[in-house]
Structure 1
Amino acid sequence: MPLFFLSYSHVPVHRAGRSPDFDRLVFRFFEDLCGHLAAAGGPEGNAAGFVERPGTPAEETLRALADCRVFVPLYAKRYFTDPKCGRHWTAATTGPADTRPAVVPVLWTPYPPAALPRAAQYDLPAMPGDGDEAEEEYAATGLHQMLQLGEELGDGRAGRITAWLARRVLYAAATVPAPPGDRHVPGPLTALDNAFTAPLPAPPTLRITVLAPTEEQLPIGRDESRYGPAAEDWRPYGPALGPLADQVRALARNLGFTPDLVAFDKPRAELRGTAVPDAPWVLVVDPWALENPRVADQVREFDAVRRPWTAVLSVLPEDDPQTKERSERLTRLLHTCFPRFLREGRAGEQNAVRGLPDADVFALWFSELAESARMRYLRYIHSQLSAGGDGTGDRTEGRP
């Protein structure tokens, strides 16, 4: 009875050319994961885990799916387009909630959470939370590339991620009961439905707030050429690029979101309450708006609660003479109003709060932070559903 089942998308032999070892990094990861499990006090040998190798009988795979306590899928674009992986998912998640294995996904190659199929939308690859180089690389490139570079460079970062994943597997296994000896997965595997062919969900919503003064709200002496009658008319990177609100709408749609531009006051009540939020929220700030004491107080209130589904970007255009002249003052305002985001955020998140100099850099960080806010939002929703005791908790990942 294996503790975990490793589910991955096989590379067809005819596409792998002469290399029968094309999936070798999958098998290397499997062996490393088993080794780290044993080192952490977990089971050894066949009791540690199962991975389907070429020639494995289908009955053996089906039995391992029925017996495992943790299902470990390797997330990649190929994984979610492989019918066999979709049937693995169906087999692992079929039956009463108290007999299903926990799900501990691995980010094998980068995959945007907004593109996850409905069956997997709440089962997101977690991050260690250490904020070190290994975590940053894992989030950016996935474990496959880390293992590949580790072989070439003798780098141990992939090993640190694998050891952390082993601890998650052990923790997750402890949160679910051992499967009954008679647990049955309807077979054969080829007769099961592909969980990933369900109709795609509607594009997820991304709330966006542009916090900028209007022409009438500008601080005394501020040039009004980049502003308009409404906050959404703000053009920080110059008239040629148009309003920033239009740019963020387009960026959000390109990421697979439905953008919802809202005023700053609308979601603030949600931050103070206990209700589950409707969507992740990205706040885009003109530091000149913080010259208004009332706005600054509201922003400090927003920063003090720092909900996991929120992200902040501010704009300090390098081609704006007034902004350059007042950069020290505006930077101090940002530090005063966002101390918690600057203290607790990762390096990239901190840079986004400190001010982005041009439209290209802004687009890069907006995309990055919108995706990460979405992932944190889904994890938060998942944790709330689990705490509610509706059965979702049976699939909660480990938390070391």
Structure 2
Amino acid sequence: MPLFFLSYARIPGDRRTGPDPDRLVFDFYGALSDRVAAHAGAGGADAGFVERPHTTGEQVVRALSDCRAFVPLYSQRYFTDPRCGRQWTAITRRSAPAPAPRIVPVLWTPYPAASVPEAVHETPAVPESAGDAEESYAALGLHQLLDLEEEQALRIVDWLARRIAGTPPVHRAPSDPGPSDWAPSRLDPAGLDSAGLARLPDAFATRPPRPPLRLTVLAPSEQRLPIGRGSARYGPRPLDWRPYGPAAGGPVAEQAGELARNLGFAPEVVSFDKALVELRSVGAPTAPWVLIVDPWALQDVTAARQAREFDTARRPWTAVLTALADNDPQTTEHSERLRELLESTFPRHLREGRIGQQSAVRGLRTADVFALWFGELAESAYMRYLRYIQPRSSPPGPSTGPAPGTPPAAGAGAPGTDEGGAEARP
């Protein structure tokens, strides 16, 4: 049984073409696991559990079911990640014979108090001693401390490890199965397996209301597919398109709507034809807008022309995301031609957009990467929307002070301070 479960929000990025953007998470996990094992007197295998890119869903559910302590890495990104919200639901719903574990939050990066969901009541503790390491942790968060002041960071890691190692063990009934014959019903009487975890409600989804977020899907229906394109990922309507296959969940429009609600938006799905009416309007926009593109649709002359019009319109409150799934053999086979279509259709977005915007237009390979970049670009479109409609006033909303229980930090919650850094933010 793991002594702790490390819960973190993934940073967008292609892990196959460069350094893993979550490197510091795994570095922290390794150091924390070693120190927890030392303080708990447990040698050998890892003392904890962390989900890595190739970890199976069954392993995640087992660790959530068995862990003594749940260690979330608090950041603004963490509180908008549906995956983390479902883990929180699973942990807080856990019942006998493995009751809910102790939650030991870590201040990973400073975040606005307004970003904390209603379901979260635990705040990161700060060591009582007032040394440089403790003050830096309270002001900067552990992510930056690991990157800049390794010696100070290790003091905080050791302090966290002592808190985790002191967590009482989980007491099981004599008939309770051990990890070797684990039963998926331990978290949920109805039986929770890896698919069940994906269906759990997101504990972070309840947020103060924000304006609508318009979602438009540019994709063919199964009756109007390009010549040679298979119909397996399509349905009667463009909104039925499932670029990442049935294993990823419902249609991409539904997934985007769920992500939008998690960010506090009221999603409005509109057809591309209706969206073009607002695109051509000279009036002020009424909502930020995200266009989700199937590159196969660009083989249609009319759709390609309308998409190019979108690219040249220079509407700052809009964002473009393209799904180019790497688990779709047909898309993989024709990926070079599909990318050429995207480059000829959205040249301005690729020329003028930031790194994140360019990556989103060129094609997002997995459902996880799509979800991460959707959140980033929806937030970015929303901020540009506010600046456009209120050019001389600050964006409305609640205070963006530091997290409750966290000492004020210079620049806390400011754009670009999250763990993704300049490269990871759009």
Structure with the higher helix share, 1 or 2? 1
TM-score of the two chains, using structure 2 as the length reference: 0.45
TM-score of the two chains, using structure 1 as the length reference: 0.48
